[in-house]
Amino acid sequence: MASFMEKLESASLDNRSLLCVGLDPDPRQMPVSDLFEFNRAIIDATADLVCAYKPNLSFYEAQGIPGLEALKRTVEYIHSTAARVPVIGDAKRGELGPSAESYAKAMFDVWGFDAITANAWGGRESLQPFFDREDKGVFVWCRSSNNGAGDIQDLPVATRDGQRPVFELLAEMALGWNGNGNVGLVIGATYPLEMKKVRDGCPDMPFLIPGVGAQGGALEESVRCGANSDGRMAIVSSSRGVLYASGGSDYAQAARQAALVLREQMNAVLEQEGKGWS
């Protein structure tokens, strides 16, 4: 079976896309009531336009067992009908010892994700069971797109090179944790200059960039600052802007249209920089 990194590269190239669609079904906004049916329509409408899908687990857990059954069916559906497209479980898990091992089992063996997001608060050893799964991707949550994220992430750490924010040091640590070549970073779209700095330090890692659209992130800047020198390895994620482009029965067509626009806007940036797909 292809590793996450292989799947990511081939889906990006096949679909000429840096776009990831966040599968965050919210009953308050969905025009249909069934989570899986909603996701299936979105997937059918966008599978040729994306480099990845990213279900955020909170939306499924909020619906209890039926929600988690819908999550399982959704991942299986992508693996069977859009098998080239990797699925990133946006779980932000982080735990210690046997609990960390249990989460690795849950994320990769139970839910079947190709990659996950993880929270590094517990340090390297808390994520090691994830890193050890060489064929899976692990996106370490580094810098958020919310305004208040700086409470911890921006604390100024005293270093030999002067004061540096915690998230920059975490990005450096993640480089050292990447012995299997399967580590990436989550970097919010609302801070492109910070993203650029982290990209300079981590030239080859995949960056998962949420916050495009509803959270006000700058799409073009995310591509410019987040992609690597070849214009690749940026996974720019949009959820609400695609899923709820229409609140009516045409929601799947509207989602496709929104995804097309996002993909083309990003590809235009790549073209400008001489890093297009052809």
Binders in 79-98 for a second copy, by CB under 8 A: 90, 92-98
Residue 82's nearest CA partner among 33, 10, 26, 135 is 10
The distance from CA 54 to its chain's CA centroid, rounded to whole angstroms, is 6
Give the separation between CA 160 and CA 16, rounded to whole angstroms.
Answer: 43
Query: Measured from the CB atom, is 99 or 246 closer to a second copy?
Result: 99
- Give the nearest distance from C-beta 35 to a second copy in angstroms: 12
Residue of 7, 54, 72, 92 marked catalytic: 92
Would residue 92 show up in a list of annotated catalytic residues for this protein? yes
Interface characters, 222-261, with a second copy (x: CB under 8 A): ------------------x---------------------
Give the separation between CA 83 and CA 203, rounded to whole angstroms.
Answer: 28
Binders in 97-126 for a second copy, by CB under 8 A: 97-100, 102-103, 105-106, 109-110, 119-126
Stretch that binds a second copy, among 58-66, 197-205, 229-237, 261-269 (CB under 8 A): 58-66
Query: Measured from the CB atom, is 94 or 231 closer to a second copy?
Result: 94
Stretch that binds a second copy, among 79-87, 142-150, 198-206, 222-230 (CB under 8 A): 142-150
Q: Given candidates 39, 74, 144, 222, which one binds a second copy under the rule CB under 8 A?
A: 144
- What is the set of active-site residues? 92
